[in-house]
Structure formats: C-alpha cells, structure tokens
Structure 1
Amino acid sequence: MALIKTYPGIDPVLLTAIVDAGARGVVLEGTGTANVPVGLFTTIGELTEWDIPVVIASRCRTSAAALGDLRLGAGLAGKIGAIGARGLSPVKAHCALMVALGGGGGVAAARDWFAAYARGAGGT
C-alpha cells in the first residue's frame, strides 16, 4: 500500500510507478474536502480499471460522506472510480485499506469495507 500526499502539479506517473513497484492499493491525501489535482484523474481511472483501489482521504476533518456526494474534485474523482475514506484521516485510511485488501480482494473489497465502515459495521 502507498500513502501519497497530493499537491498542485503532482506528476501522475508517481502513482503508476508505485503500482509498478508492487503496491496493491493507493491512498491519496487530498486537500480541503478530499480534493485531488485534476491531472490525476486519468491515472486514478486506469488504476481502478486494473483493480487497484485508490482511496482519497483529506488533510481536513471531513464527514463520512461518499466521494460522489462531495462537491468539486472529490465528487468527480468518485465518478471515475476512487473510493472515499469516509472521514478517516489519511493514515487511518491507509491502515483500513490494508485490512480491506487482506483477504486478497481489489477495488470491490475496498469499496465494500469503506461503505461498511460508514454504516458502523467496520472499524479501525
């Protein structure tokens, strides 16, 4: 698993390089309400197509809302396959992604885990 702090102008090749090095999932530490640079959207979409979960957490305290329910970039990232951290901090989301993928699953396993966490069935 990888935890990457995003910033304006981040090169999307960083995400693919981490996956090429063996990461089974990525947590992106976004800004504001889990916003990530638009330049990462294509790569996020590609990774989720390859069954590599991309979880977006925020540096700010956020609610347990799904990414698709958030405005701006976070909502768009959810539409291309990213998974919201559901209010977990980036470090906790990183640990949660490890748990979610512990059984060998991919995007579906991660999405299910974070949805269950939001309903109160999961935990970290």
Structure 2
Amino acid sequence: MLNIFSLFNDCPETVAYFKRLGDIKQGKNNDKLRGHSITLMYALQNFVDHLDSPADLICVVEKFAVNHINRKISAAEFGKINGPMKKVLASLNFGDRYANAWAKLVAVVQAAL
C-alpha cells in the first residue's frame, strides 16, 4: 500500500477517486482499501499470466480499463501513478528497468482507457 500513499502525497487530488474505500488513512486497518490492494495484486498476476497470449491479455487489460472507466478515471489520471511508483520502486532498490516496465503496463491500460 506504500504506492497509494505516495500517490496521495504527490497528487492529493487523487484521493477523491478512492472515496468509496472510506478513510484511506487507516491503511491496513481499512478493509475496503486492503480488498482493493488484493484485487490489484490479482490483476497484476493476471497480466503476467497472459503475456504469452496477446488475445487473452487484451481481454484482461480491457476488463481492467472498464473498471476504471466506470469510475470515470481518464487515461491521464490513471497515468499519475507512474511518478509515485517510480519512487516506491527506487526506495525498494529496484532500478529504472522496473519503473520502465511499470510505465509500459500503465501505458497499455491508458491505451485501453
């Protein structure tokens, strides 16, 4: 959940997109936020699992995009996660290679949005 708090620190206006999750400042004590984090981990695993099947990967990405479209998240708004994620990855001693891979994944979702 470190990345979501980095997002909120870097782009405070994004807090409004997570209102349905309640008080996000509760962190791990917020069941809805924890559930969202778990769902995100499953989505990332789903992306990785389908890298060898472009047709299936497109379906997975489109479903992920629809979830964000339904919440009125634009491609530009979705891309705001890149800066905070780069900071998180750097704090965990992951280099630019990982940040670039993350940005490519975000770009694919943005294209679907």
TM-score by length of 1: 0.26
Greater RCO (CA < 8 Å, at least 6 residues apart) = 2
- Which structure dedicates a bigger proportion of its chain to strand? 1
Q: Which has the higher helix share?
A: 2
TM-score where L is the length of structure 2:
0.28
Bigger Rg over Cα: 2
